[in-house]
Amino acid sequence: MTVNKSQVTSVFWICEDVHYSLLKHQYYNRMNYSKYLSKVAGRRKPSGISDMRKYLVNPSPSLVWLGSGMPNPTQFPFREVTVGLNDGEVLHLSQDMLSSGLQYGPTPGYAPLVTQLKAMVERHHSPPRWSESNLLVTVGAQDGVSKAFEMLLDPGDYVVISDPCYSDALCMLASLAPQYLAIENDDEGMVPANLRAALKLAANSEEKRMPKALYLVPNASNPTGTTMGEVRRREIYAIAQEYDLIILEDDPYYFLTYEEEQNIPPSFLSLDIDGRVLRFDSFSKIVSAGLRVAFVTGPAPLLAVMELHLQSSVICGPMFSQVLVSELLREWGEEGFSRHTAKLRIFYKNQRDAMLLAASTHLTGLCEWTVPKGGIFLWLKVVGVKDTGPMIIERGITKNVILIPGKEFVVDSSKPNQFMRAAFSCVTPEQMMKGMENLASLIREEIAL
């Protein structure tokens, strides 16, 4: 099929490159990606300077580069970097790697790392539309998710979220002023029947404004610790197909589910036969949060728009971090990586068990909770207290215990909320016991008030 420019319905595109790549994929995929894009996304334009960098890939020795304004690396104060690993091995960054790590780099990411990440995605998710997908390194998953929201949402557009929802996702969304379909959770996350009912209601409303996107955290969710089973994932994917939604799969806890890797339910990316899933992975919880290395995988046309955003916001992600992660993955190999994530699973499962023991010792009768199947959070409902906000914020510190009130995880934080989130990642079992004892005393005091 040949496609000409007049077949594009969207009128706001000013970026020709994106325009044509969208066209191509739009018809190939049967997904009309242009209809999902916000006005801001439509105004993004490529950097001519970044574009010239393509001539720096395998340049001829006689090329005289008078292009982009890179600083002269001979003037950087670093000569060599060697990093010791916990297992006694040492990563030594070669001169070449150091040059890449200290200089501006390609917006999509450090090329060797991008290759490794693509192999990783193929191994874990074998995306059905892999040949039409792409991958971008982002500055943490937070950066990827917020850029995706900005790409998709204009003020007043509807977005589907779970209730409760990751608090920082709510912060990202707040600035975009969307309207929310907040879908109730149970102990497997978003409830499909409620999702379907809310979408049906929206479709039958006078406005008939349908959401464009659905955001969820499928594994070891933040804040509830719930993991969605395979049947539910398939059901939600089918609903997204029916209502033509883009799914934003934010999955930083994938490797922190306590299940063996082969028992983790299939990701939405691996179910995605249409090209409607953007998946966000992160090294924050499995390698280091400070390196700020994460990646987004999904349909190439949408990633092309996100790449323009990255180009204008950060030029490229932290190159030094990317070189380090790449070298670490190379040093470990697939086996070493699996050994590392298996150790993490055991560590966090033991933390979870210690937290459950502390909670049942001190909070039985005061709080209810579901047992998290992964991750680092225990989601507590306080039985006899109407609103945990004032209790924690005004009096928690006097009892030497701080956790996050449930109101941080809902759209309308002014409503009373009986929940709270306790993180058990960085405390010892003794501290957990003490913390839960202090919390019990705080709750009793609050009930008596």
294 vs 440, beta carbon nearer ligand PMP: 294
- Asked if the peptide bond before residue 164 counts as cis, ω within 30 degrees of 0, the response is yes
Shortest distance in whole angstroms from residue 222 CB to ligand PMP: 4
Nearest distance from C-beta of residue 141 to ligand PMP, angstroms: 3
252 versus 301: smaller Cβ distance to ligand PMP: 252
For ligand PMP, give the closer residue by CB, 63 or 171: 171
Q: Which secondary structure element, helix H or strand E, spans residue 415, and what is its range?
A: none
| Residue number of the CB atom closest to ligand PMP | 140
In the complex, least distance from residue 168 CB atom to ligand PMP, rounded to whole angstroms: 6
Euclidean distance between CA atoms 316 and 326, whole angstroms: 16
Q: Measured from the CB atom, is 32 or 116 closer to ligand PMP?
A: 116
Three-state DSSP class for residue 438: helix
| Nearest to ligand PMP of 236, 363 (CB atom) | 236
Q: Least separation, in Å, of the C-beta of 409 and ligand PMP? A: 11
> In angstroms, how far is CA 213 from the centroid of its own chain?
14
Pairing mode, strands 179-186 and 158-163: parallel
What is the smallest separation between the CB atom of 221 and ligand PMP, expressed in angstroms? 7
Q: How far apart are CB 6 and ligand PMP at their closest, in Å?
A: 41
Instruction: Give the nearer residue to ligand PMP in terms of CB position, either 142 or 226.
Output: 142
Which residues form the interface with ligand PMP (CB under 6 A)? 140-142, 166, 217, 222, 250, 252, 282, 284, 289, 294
Q: Partners of 369 in the beta sheet?
A: 380
Instruction: Report the alpha-carbon distance of residue 413 to residue 400 in Å, rounded.
Output: 24
Indicate the DSSP class of residue 374. Answer: B
Q: What is the residue whose two structure tokens read 């008030």?
A: 449
Q: What is the closest distance, in whole angstroms, from the C-beta atom of residue 410 to ligand PMP in the complex?
A: 15
Task: Return the closest-CA partner of residue 258 out of 344, 186, 189.
Answer: 344
> Which residue number, 119 or 171, has a Cβ lying nearer to ligand PMP?
171
- Taking the complex as a whole, the smallest distance from the CB of residue 289 to ligand PMP amounts, in Å, to 5
DSSP bridge partners of 189:
186
Q: What is the C-alpha separation between 163 and 406, in angstroms, rounded?
A: 11
Q: Are 412 and 173 in contact (CB under 8 A)?
A: no
Q: Is 161 or 363 the residue whose CB approaches ligand PMP more closely?
A: 161
Q: Which of 141, 176 has the CB closer to ligand PMP?
A: 141
Label the pairing between strands 377-382 and 189-190.
unpaired
Q: Please tell me the distance from the alpha carbon of residue 392 to that of residue 366, in angstroms, as a whole number.
A: 15
Q: Is 69 exposed, middle or buried (0-12, 13-18, 19+ CB in 10 A)?
A: exposed
The answer to whether the beta carbons of residues 163 and 186 sit under 8 Å apart is: no
Q: Which two tokens stand for residue 184?
A: 């109730």
To the nearest whole angstrom, how small is the minimum distance from the Cβ of residue 225 to ligand PMP? 11
